[in-house]
Amino acid sequence: MAPKRDDLPPKPLTATWVSHKRPEGAYGDGKGLFLVVTAAGTKSWRLRYWIDKKEFVHTLGRYEPGSADHMGLDDARTAAKQAKASARQGAHPKDVKRAEEAAKKAEQALTFEGVAEEYVQHMKIKKGWQASTEAGFRISLNASINPIIGPLPVGKVDVDHIKKVLNQSRLVGKRIAQTVALSVIRRVLRYAKLSKYITVNNADGLEELLPERKKGEPRFKHHAAFKTQEALREYLTRLDANNDRTSSLYGLRLLTLLPVRVSELATMKWSALETNPGFWVYEMPKVHRQHIVPLPKQALAILDELRAQRMGQCEYVLPGRYADRPINPESFRLALLNQLGYDVGAVTPHGMRATFQTLARKHLHVDTVVLELMLGHETSAAFNGAYDRNDFLEERIETAKRWADWLDTLRGATNDK
């Protein structure tokens, strides 16, 4: 039985003709493309092509209006043109399609968070990042960035996503925190670009999104500190009243006794305490200079408590959530807010260095050179050439003892002299 006149296809096919119900058969559009209609009425696009004078047939897609993978006539022609171009290069269209799908899946699996972790490991191995540098980088990454764009495919992170990070409530109005967050994102995306995971770094040139620095405002704010012994006494009272045995609280107790940087304390290792009993000896990041910190008996008592709680072979004195990693320095600030009840900006963990510098000079009359050396600073007054790690060591030992005893006196405690 001959087909009805309406069933005879035009040449080439038209979108209207294809859209109607047609009898089972194959209907050519030209240049190897044809529409296949099954007995059940389903339709699909196929392409006839040749490689090395051999004929092959490749299914391009389904004609199924309303479905997510519907392929219309124009789309089929475009797909056929691309497939024939691959065939001319000796590549079977189905193999090209599989490779594209695999690449797409790989792109989806390559998240910003995953690339950021890869970048951190790269910097540790290739650039010699210290643990404190890593911890500082992770503060902004874990607190402000990963919760928003961490799960996204790195290739999908665009300007709008970056704006969302910078405009979140925890960063609004905090120019320095926003600057750091943008810098972290830019560095991760730069690494992704160099690794050929992406072709464009969408964080480049976004400095104009940051709030302008106000006239007279310093580039970096001073860390809030206790400037009077009354304020410090109140802090000690709150600290002593909290019996939590967490790394963050132990860290705050040590920061009152040892005028070190927060990032350095966070990455303190047991091995650095074993070589010279009574001292903490470590290399300061960036300057790569050895620093000796005398440990008063009050600090040693805290370390004994921590040693008794040590789990397995954990190398860090103050472990984080995972035993093989140090505490996040941000945890100290959060403990001030959540466990000791201080308002945001009233005091910072790093501000304890300024507290020591101010009150030790005022109440203990410690020499400026000794103070600077205890803080890990280099000053022209302290040395006139190469740094000698033993400079003023006896004075520093005595100052550490006097400071710790003065804190006990401030508490109203009785000390064994």
H helix count then E strand count, the chain: 17, 6
Indicate whether 156 pLDDT > 80: yes
User: What is the reported pLDDT for 395?
Assistant: 94
Indicate whether 24 pLDDT > 70: yes
Q: How far is CA 79 from the centre of its chain?
A: 40
Indicate whether 320 pLDDT > 80: yes
User: What is the reported pLDDT for 214?
Assistant: 61
**Residue 356 main-chain phi, psi, to 5 deg:** -60, -45
Residues 29-41, mean pLDDT to the nearest whole number: 94
Residues 248, 331 contacting (CB under 8 angstroms): yes
Q: Dump pLDDT digits (tens) for 328-350.
A: 888 888 888 888 888 766 788 88
Q: How far apart are CA 90 and CA 86, in angstroms?
A: 7
181 burial type by CB count under 10 A (0-12 exposed, 13-18 middle, 19+ buried): buried
User: What is the reported pLDDT for 355?
Assistant: 94
Which has more confidence, 13 or 4?
13
Q: Dump pLDDT digits (tens) for 205-236.
A: 888 888 776 655 544 455 678 889 999 999 99
Which has more confidence, 415 or 163?
163
Concatenate the DSSP letters of all residues of 270-324 into one string: THHHHSSTTEEEEEETTTTEEEEEE--HHHHHHHHHHHHH--TT--BSSB-SSTT
User: What is the reported pLDDT for 120?
Assistant: 92
Q: Is the pTM of this model over 0.75?
A: no
Return the amino acid letter for 342: Y
Instruction: Map out the domains of the chain with their CATH numbers.
Output: 5-107 (3.30.160.390), 112-209 (1.10.150.130), 229-411 (1.10.443.10)
H or E segment and range at residue 116: helix 112-126
User: What is the reported pLDDT for 306?
Assistant: 93
Indicate whether 23 pLDDT > 80: yes
Q: Dump pLDDT digits (tens) for 94-140.
A: 888 887 776 666 665 689 999 999 999 999 888 778 776 787 788 88
What are the residues whose beta carbons fall under 8 Å from the beta carbon of 386, sequence distance 6 or more? none
User: What is the reported pLDDT for 105?
Assistant: 65
For Cα atoms 140, 143, 145, give the angle at the middle one, nearest 5 degrees.
70
Indicate whether 202 pLDDT > 70: yes
Which has more confidence, 312 or 314?
314
- Looking at every residue in the chain, the average pLDDT score rounds to 86
H or E segment and range at residue 27: strand 25-30
User: What is the reported pLDDT for 416?
Assistant: 44
Residues 5-34, mean pLDDT to the nearest whole number: 88
3-state secondary structure of 161: helix
Which tokens hold the place of 394?
A: 């006896």
Q: Dump pLDDT digits (tens) for 399-409.
A: 999 999 999 99
For Cα atoms 380, 385, 387, give the angle at the middle one, nearest 5 degrees.
90
Indicate whether 79 pLDDT > 50: yes
User: What is the reported pLDDT for 383?
Assistant: 46
Residues 362-389, mean pLDDT to the nearest whole number: 73
User: What is the reported pLDDT for 385?
Assistant: 43
Percent of the chain with pLDDT over 90: 52
User: What is the reported pLDDT for 344?
Assistant: 63
User: What is the reported pLDDT for 387?
Assistant: 46
Residues 266, 318 contacting (CB under 8 angstroms): yes
Indicate whether 413 pLDDT > 90: no
Residues 52-60, mean pLDDT to the nearest whole number: 91
